[in-house]
Structures are given as structure tokens and as C-alpha cells.
Amino acid sequence: MAKTARPASEAGPRPGHELSNDRLLAMYRVMAFARAIDERCLSLQRQGRIGFYVPASGQEAAQIGCAAALTDDDWLFPAYRELGLALWRGVTFRTLMDQFLGTSADRLKGRQMPNHYGYRERNLVVASSPIGTQITHAVGAAMAMQRRRAPQVSATFFGDGATSSNDFHAGMNFAGVYRTPTIFFCQNNQWAISLPRERQTRSATLAQKAEAYGFPGVVVDGTDIHAVFDAVATARERAVAGEGPTLIEAQVYRFGPHSTSDDPHRYRSDADLAEWKRRDPILRLREELQNSGTLTETGESELQDAIRREISETIAAAEGAPPIDPATLFDDTFAQRTPRLEEERAEFERLVREGVIRP
């Protein structure tokens, strides 16, 4: 959808970290698109049309505000909830939907769980399910950037629960010791699945954990896209200047379940959710754009119509793709299949033809 694409000339932060109304409108369009995708994909999973989904509603400003403050040369190491990052980096919904379904059109060949995507040409590393593993990977990549003297940063994304993982502390320590150009972006959505943040740590904030490793930690309102953009732009400037890493704690709230395997009604109150929904990042930015005259009611209506139309058309096209060829199981381990793999592949195909194996 053309309206959700960001202008190519708008990559990276501007001097003074100011956001123009045009830039904010581009960010809003991607946020609205992400929210609509979330709502539709949750419905698709409940209908049995996709197997699993991890929603990000409530965290759009944190993700897109962060992504917009980076350049396309910077590397992103996401967890599995970073839909906004992928959309801002230019990954199309069709590409994502192909991955959610795992059909023959999936560029990852159905080898990852839904929502565990990544694309080399976007510098977006494939997500993995183990909590926190992307953190140490990001630090290693940053060390490589440092040695190459490349004006790049690595940004790694995780939730409050991941700050209790071994990889979080190992990554933070290495980053501090080697002063790597790393941005640790914690989306503190208040719940590690069903465990509340106050039962995870005695620290007053998660950001203050950076002090033990010798670099700054910053707390921002993750529902305020300006605050997020400014914090990340500042952290990036520090990193490329050789001043080391930054831990940013963006305080947000997960509006939906942890995943489609979760029932949040079992562990949190409707009152808490209602309180946070009054700070809905999409409503906040929409009101700002309307007050400035950048977004009219007609423009908002046309945007929502275009989003709904693109989502429906994309889902229909993706669901029409044929299933993946099971013989691709033998591909990609080696640049060229070994003689033994060729024998195994031929035997597998024979068993499929004879109906012994049903893909």
C-alpha cells in the first residue's frame, strides 16, 4: 500500500531530532497498518487459518519511533513481536503473510514459526524463540562494526522478561567492556507472559541495570513517539561517535495476549488495560496530527479504507499460494547437495510418490 511506505529521503534522524509533520504522518500510517494487521491476524489464528501469532498492539510508537531514528545500514536483532520494525524497514505485508502461512511463497521455506522472520536485504536478523539470544548476537555484530570502523549500530529488541536472561547480562557486560555501538531497546510491556514486572526484579527501573555495566540507561514513555525517537537518535549518535552502548527502557503496555496461546484475562485486570488504553500511542499521534491540520477526518477514513483493502487482498493472494515442496527439506545445508543428500532426497521423493510419507 503506497500510503504506508515511508519516503526514501526520510531515512535516519534529523539534526536536533525534530520530526516534521510529514514524517509523523508517514510514521502514523505504518503504526495504523501494524495495528490493523494485528487485529486481522489474531482473527485468522482463531479461525485456524494461521497456526500462531504474536501481537504488538500498544507497542507501535516504541517500535516505529525506534526504527525511524536508525538508518537502513544499521542492523536490527528483533525478538518475535517487532512487526513495526519490519514494516518500517520496507518488508511488505505479503512477504510477512507468506511467512505466517509457511507456503511455497515463504522466503524462509516454512522453517520458522510464524512471526519468526528476518530478511538479509533489510538488515533484519531472523528472530528465534529462546529468550534473549538476540542480545548477544547484536553485541557480536556491533564488535564487528567497531573493528571495521563502520558508522553503523546494532539495535536489539527484547521485553522486560528478557532482562532476567543470561544473554541479557552477558551481552550487556561485553558491550560495556568493549564499548560497542549497540542500542539495547527494552520494550517493558509490564508482563513476561503472566509474570508482572514487579516480581522480576528489585530494581526501581530496568534501565538502571546499565549502570552496573558502565554505560547509560534511559527510561522513556514508549507511547510517545517523540520521546522514543529522541532517545534512540541520541543513543545512535553516542554509538557512532565511539562512546559506547545505551540501554533504553520504553515503558509500554501489551494490549493483547502474549501470543495466541495465552489468555491475559487470567492474570491481569480490565481496569489496568483500560488505564493504559487511554494512552494508546496511535490515538495520541492521531490527535496530534489532527490538531496540526496534517491529518483530516477524510484522510483518516481514506487511510483506513486503503489499509483494510490491502490486508484483505494480500491475505487472499497469500492463501492462494500452493504448499511448500517438502523436498526442500534437503536444501540449503550445503551450497551444493552432497551425493549422500542426493540419495536421501531421491528416496524421500519416492516414498512421497508411493504415499508412504504424506507431506
| Residues labelled as active-site residues | 254, 258, 267
Angle at 204 between CA 199 and CA 209, to 5 degrees: 95
Largest CA distance in the chain: 67
Residue of 178, 201, 289 whose CA lies nearest to 249: 201
Contacts of 217 (CB under 8 A, 6+ apart): 205, 206, 207, 208, 209, 210, 211, 246, 247, 248, 249
Query: Do residues 135 and 169 lie in contact, with contact meaning Cβ atoms separated by under 8 Å?
Result: no
Measured distance CA(283)–CA(31) in Å, rounded: 10
Angle at 134 between CA 132 and CA 135, to 5 degrees: 70
Distance of CA 336 to CAs 56, 95, 111, 342, 347, Å?
39, 26, 19, 10, 18
- Alpha-carbon 81 to chain mean position: 5
Measured distance CA(71)–CA(5) in Å, rounded: 15
Distance of CA 251 to CAs 182, 196, 217, 260, 317, Å?
20, 13, 13, 23, 37
